[in-house]
Structure 1
Amino acid sequence: MTFSVAVAGASGYAGGEVLRLLAAHPDYEIKTVTAHSNAGQLLGDVQSHLRSLAHLRLVETTSENLTGHDVVFFALPHGASGEISSQLGSDTLAIDCGADHRLERESDWVAFYGGEYYGSWTYGVPELPVTAGRQRDRLVGTKRIAAPGCNASTVALSLAPGIAAGVIESSDIVTVLAVGPSGAGKNPRVNLLASEILGSANPYAVGGTHRHIPEIKQALRTAGATDDLSVSFTPVLVPMSRGILATSTARIRPGVSAEEVRSVWEAAYEGEPFVQVFPEGRFPRTADTLGANTCLMGVAVDEAAGRVVIVAALDNLVKGTAGAAVQSANIALGLPETSGLNTDGVAP
C-alpha cells in the first residue's frame, strides 16, 4: 500500500528535510506541498536541491488543501499548526514537526510559548526509555504525533537511560549544546547572518529561558525522574549549518561503579538502529551524523567529580526533526521503522 502525503510548510528547512527523506521512501507518495509567502511557486524554485520533486507547485496552507491525504506532516512555526491540524479527520495521520503539540502541561506552554494551547500528541522519540519499555510502544497505531525539538531529544536521549535505571540523580543535571543555526528556521535574522556567526561562538537563551527546557523535563519525568528534577541548559550557536553536539553531566548515585554506569547506556540502546553508543574512550563529532538519522553517543565517568559525562551528536534537521518524524510515522503505520532512513553520514 502507498500512503498519500501532504507536507505543510514545505519551503522551510524542516519541511525541505521531510521532503528529502520522503522522496526516497518506498511507501509514501507526495501529493501536496504547501507554503505561505511562497505559495504559487514551484518547489524547485525554493528548494533547489530537491530535484526529484521540483515540479510540484506550492499551494496555500489551508485545511482544505491538506484534507484527504493519508498522512500530513506539519513543518510550521510554533502556533501555526494547532488550529489547522484540529480540522483534519481522525483517520488522517498527522505529524507536527513544530512545538504546538509537544507539551503535556498547558502551564509549560503558556510560560515558554504563549498563545492558545492545543493539547499534546504522542511524543515522537521512539528510542526514549520510559518507565515501562520504550516510547515506540506508544506510537504504534497512533494518529497524532509530536516530533521532538532537536535540542530536547538530544538531551533526553542522553540522560534518560541513567534516569530510568536509577544510577544518576535528577537534581543536578547540566547540559551545554553547540548548535547550528538551521535549527532556528529559514526566516532571516540579524543574529544568524554569516557575518555575525562565522568565526564566533554565541550563547543564547541563557539562564533557563530556552523553550526546549520543559520538553526535556517532561521526557525525563517520563523516564522516571523524581520531583527534584533540575536541568541547567545552555545552548551555544556555532558556525556550522546543521548539527548538535550536547555535553550533558549528572551526579552518579553513591555506590554505583563506573562499569555499572557505562553498562546502563550500552544496554539501553543495544540493537537500536539509530541511537548508538561508541566504545569506551571514543566520542562522536557532528560530522559523523550529517544527513543521517542517527544520534551517536560517547559515555565517560569523571570519578573525581562523581559525575557521568555524555557527549551526543546528531543532525538537528534529520534525527532532531524530520528523521524522527518519518521514523515515528513508519511505526504508527506498521511499516518497517527504518524504511526511508539511513545511518550513514556524509564525509568529509
Structure 2
Amino acid sequence: MRAAVVGASGYAGGEILRLLIEHPGIEIGALTAASSAGTPLGRIHPHLVPLADRTVVETTPEAVTDHDVVFLALPHGHSAALVDRLPADVLVIDCGADFRLADDAAWTAYYDTPYAGQWPYGLPELALADGGVQRTRLLGARRIAVPGCYPTAVSLALAPGLAAGVLEPDDLTVVAASGTSGAGKGLKAHLLGSEVMGAMSPYGVGGVHRHTPEIEQNLSLAAGADVRVSFTPTLAPMPRGILATCTARLASGAGVEQVRAAWEQRYAGETFVHLLPEGVWPSTASVVGSNSALIQVAVDDRVGRVIAIAAIDNLTKGTAGAAVQCLNLAAGWDETIGLPVAGVAP
C-alpha cells in the first residue's frame, strides 16, 4: 500500500514515518505539512535517515488522493475539512481528536471547532462490557480514529476491571505523568528545557483536560454504564512516556484473586499489552520506542481500593504505533507487522 503522512513535520508524523520505514507492506508516498513545506525532511527529522532527501510538500487534497492510506497527524480540529475531500475508498487514519467522541455535547464542551462525527475507535485491546474487544470493529474499516495518549494508558489500565465487575464505576481517580512530546513540537515557554528539567508540574486540573471525555467514553464502554473520572495530568521532565496511576473502589465481594484474574484473562495472548508479574512495577524507561503497554494491578485492602498502573510511550503505543496497528487490522494483515515490542534501554 502507498501511504501519505499529513503533518509529517511534527512529533507524531515523524514517529509514524519511523515505523513505516520498517513496514514491509508500505511504500511511503507524499509527506506534507504547512509551514515546513519545501524543506527536506532530514532538516526536520534528522533521525529518519532513509527519508532525509525527501521534500515536504504543502498539505492539499490533491497531494494525497492517489494514495491507498493517508495518516493524519494534524492539530485537533483540522482533519475534518481535509477528509471531506478524500475518496471514500482511501483508508484514512486520524491521529487527532476530531472523530473520537460519540457525543457532540462532549466535543463542544472541550473543543472549539464544529463536531465532525465519530469513526471506529482505534484501541484494539479495549475491553467491552459484552465480553468482546474493540479489535473486531476495526477489521476492514476505511476510517479510523486513533486514541489519545492518556486515554490509551488509562483505558488499558482500568477497562479489564470494569468489564469484569471487580471495580466500582462511580469512584475512579487518575493521576498521570507525561513527557513533553505530548504537547507537540511547537515552541512553548513552559516546555523549554530550563523550565522542565528537574521539575514536575500539574496542568489541566479540575476536569478540564481534553482527554477527559474520551477516557470516560472508553471506560463506560467497558463498564456497560456511565462512568465519571477525576483526571489530573502532570508534566514530567522526560521527552517520551506516560505513567498512569489509576485507582478505583473494590467491588463488593471481589478479592485479590478475582482482581488479578480479570487482567490476566483480558490480556492473555495480547502481543502489545503485558500484565507484569506480581511485585514488578511499570516504568516508562521500559517502553521507550515500543508499541507495548506494561500494566500492574494491586489491591489496597486497608482502604478497599484497586491500583492499576500503566506505562506506555506516548508517541508509539499512544499515537503512531496505534495508527500502524490499526492500519494492519484494516488492511487484513498480521496486527503486529512493523511494530516493535521491545523498548530501547538504557
Q: Which residue of 2 aligns with 1:128?
A: 126
- Secondary structure at 1:33's aligned position in 2? strand
| Distance of 2:124 and 2:255 partners within structure 1 | 29
| Distance of 1:47 and 1:11 partners within structure 2 | 7
Task: Tell me which of 284, 299, 302 is aligned to 2:300.
Answer: 302
Q: Give the C-alpha shift of residue 59 in structure 1.
A: 0.7
Q: Give the C-alpha shift of residue 82 in structure 1.
A: 1.0
| Distance of 1:260 and 1:9 partners within structure 2 | 45
- Secondary structure at 2:141's aligned position in 1? coil
- Secondary structure at 2:32's aligned position in 1? strand
| Distance of 1:142 and 1:240 partners within structure 2 | 35
Q: Which amino acid aligns with 1:114?
A: D
Give the 5 Å matches for 1:253-292. 253-292=251-290
Task: Tell me which of 44, 47, 50 is aligned to 1:49.
Answer: 47
The answer to whether the 8 A contact 1:141-1:333 is kept is: yes
| Distance of 1:56 and 1:6 partners within structure 2 | 13
Q: Which residue of 2 aligns with 1:67?
A: 65
Give the 5 Å matches for 1:237-252. 237-252=235-250
Q: Which residue of 2 aligns with 1:195?
A: 194
| Distance of 1:344 and 1:262 partners within structure 2 | 24
Residue by residue over 1:286-310, the C-alpha shift from the partner in whole angstroms, topping out at 9 and shown as x without a partner, is 0000000001011111011111101
Q: Which residue of 2 aligns with 1:82?
A: 80
Give the 5 Å matches for 1:105-144. 105-132=103-130, 133-144=132-143
| Distance of 2:252 and 2:104 partners within structure 1 | 36
User: Taking structure 1 as the reference length, what is the TM-score of the superposition?
Assistant: 0.98
Q: Which residue of 1 aligns with 2:215?
A: 216
| Distance of 1:343 and 1:10 partners within structure 2 | 24
The answer to whether the 8 A contact 1:162-1:265 is kept is: yes
| Distance of 1:255 and 1:331 partners within structure 2 | 38
Corresponding pairs, count: 345
| Distance of 2:245 and 2:37 partners within structure 1 | 40
| Distance of 2:12 and 2:302 partners within structure 1 | 42
- Secondary structure at 2:175's aligned position in 1? strand
The answer to whether the 8 A contact 1:213-1:231 is kept is: yes
Give the 5 Å matches for 1:100-179. 100-132=98-130, 133-179=132-178
Q: Runs of 5+ in structure 2 lacking a partner?
A: none
Task: Tell me which of 94, 98, 116 is aligned to 2:92.
Answer: 94
Q: Which amino acid aligns with 1:49?
A: H
Residue 28 (structure 2) pairs with residue 35 (structure 1) = no
User: Taking structure 2 as the reference length, what is the TM-score of the superposition?
Assistant: 0.99
Residue 327 (structure 2) pairs with residue 329 (structure 1) = yes
Q: Which amino acid aligns with 1:19?
A: L
The answer to whether the 8 A contact 1:170-1:225 is kept is: no
| Distance of 2:267 and 2:298 partners within structure 1 | 16
Q: Which amino acid aligns with 2:296?
A: G
Residue by residue over 1:234-256, the C-alpha shift from the partner in whole angstroms, topping out at 9 and shown as x without a partner, is 01101000000000000011111
Residue by residue over 1:55-80, the C-alpha shift from the partner in whole angstroms, topping out at 9 and shown as x without a partner, is 21111111111101100000000111
Q: Give the C-alpha shift of residue 45 in structure 1.
A: 1.2
Identity across matched positions, percent? 55
Q: Which amino acid aligns with 2:194?
A: S
Q: Runs of 4 or more off by more than 3 Å in structure 1?
A: none
| Distance of 2:218 and 2:229 partners within structure 1 | 12
Q: Give the C-alpha shift of residue 226 in structure 1.
A: 2.0
Q: Give the C-alpha shift of residue 225 in structure 1.
A: 4.1
